[in-house]
A and B are shown apart, each in its own frame.
Chain A
Amino acid sequence: MNIVRRESKANAKSLILWSVGSVIMVATGMAKYAGMAGSGDSMNKLVASMPKSLQAIMGTASFDLSKASGYYGLLFLYLLVMGTIHAAMLGAGIIAKEERDKTAEFLFAKPVSRTKALSEKLLAAVGNLLIFNAVTLLSSIAFIRMYGNGERFEETIVLLMAALLFGQLLFLSLGAFIAAILKRPSAAGACAAGMLLFTFLLSIAVNMKEELHLLRYLTPFQYFEASKIMDAGLDPVFISLSLFLTVGFTTLAYYFYNRKDLGS
């Protein structure tokens, strides 16, 4: 467990920054809602008057913005983006850094197998994701109580945070997989972020064009759409799919990392 300890320590600063970012996002978001809540239905009318494509980009499609829950649903998209970027960069970085910083020669000259090192690194990373998720959950509950005009939907928030966690785990495994297969691991972080951006844009495209709806299986941002989760809970098909992909990427990461020549 020495690598878990080492990695938790090494990533502590970045985790604090990301967590603070999440708290600020929730706090400012819900504070804005409080400022707007007095204007009643006018916000909904304003959004409805915007072109559909703009609504799709902002993710406002089906939320009642006069309610705190509707507003939080809109905010969740940005929390999801933030959480998954954090996870993807963490997954790529925690694996790639040994080669990038040329410390692989130190670590793997020690009596430790690649499998064990990878496991401990991923364990430390999952710990980080859980903390980020818990901070987001607690700050969501706290700021909705503060600004939400008395509306309570804490069970829904827990459900949304579960969705966030599935998303985080999926992108963590994607980042680790990319770091494991790339010959030049310094590009792993950028590559993982690029793939995340691509799937995010794809999700917007799916929202804009009905004909593209089959592509929704290709982008995790469709798996965890707040409006659907708030209406009908987690979709078992999408959750299974995301679990399947997470396990798949993780398995492949082990496979390739064990066979990789560690560059000097």
Chain B
Amino acid sequence: MQGVAGVAACSTFLSSRMRAATPPAKAYTPRFFDGAEWDFLLAACDRLIPADENGPGALALDVPRFLDMQMDTPYAHGAQWFMDGPFVQGPDNLGYQLPYDPRTLYRRGIAGMNAHAATRHGRPFASLAPSVQDELLQAAEKGTLAFGDIPSRVFFDQLLANVMEGAFSDPVHGGNTRLGGWVMLGFPGARADFMDWVDRYGAHYPLGSISISGETA
């Protein structure tokens, strides 16, 4: 069933992907993260989702802005987690058992990453070369560092999960700017009506992504 519509659709996706790669002009002033924390987030986001030939990176998608805006939600205050003690540590497979909400994990985790960078390399994370930043992020991911009683893996997983949310959630939450994450992926967003496409087997969907705000790519 692939035909003319499929070909036209691919070029639509390509042109909107190029548009989405343009970085936003508007500056954002963080409300939760302080200067040093913000510098870390900008640098880390750029390594976690770099801009490349496959599409925009986390900075063009305003993922740091998303993270800062999320810090104001009940989720970041731990309102959706069971936070009653006692807090007893156990095997990893029994899940998260620390008394910290996401805001605290960010505060302590970023401070820990910067302290480690300073000890090891004499500079904060954001001032290091990208390859060195990657090494530190890999060490955090493997859990070879610890920030007080927070294993680095716990902080890294929190950060990575929220970065992915920022790049790929609806733009109403402050990330996925110009729907760039969705265009890169080929996800139509809130289009949500495929009655006429369900049996167009293997064909490229022709309509661009759309936000629940009505913004289109």
Q: A and B: real partners?
A: no
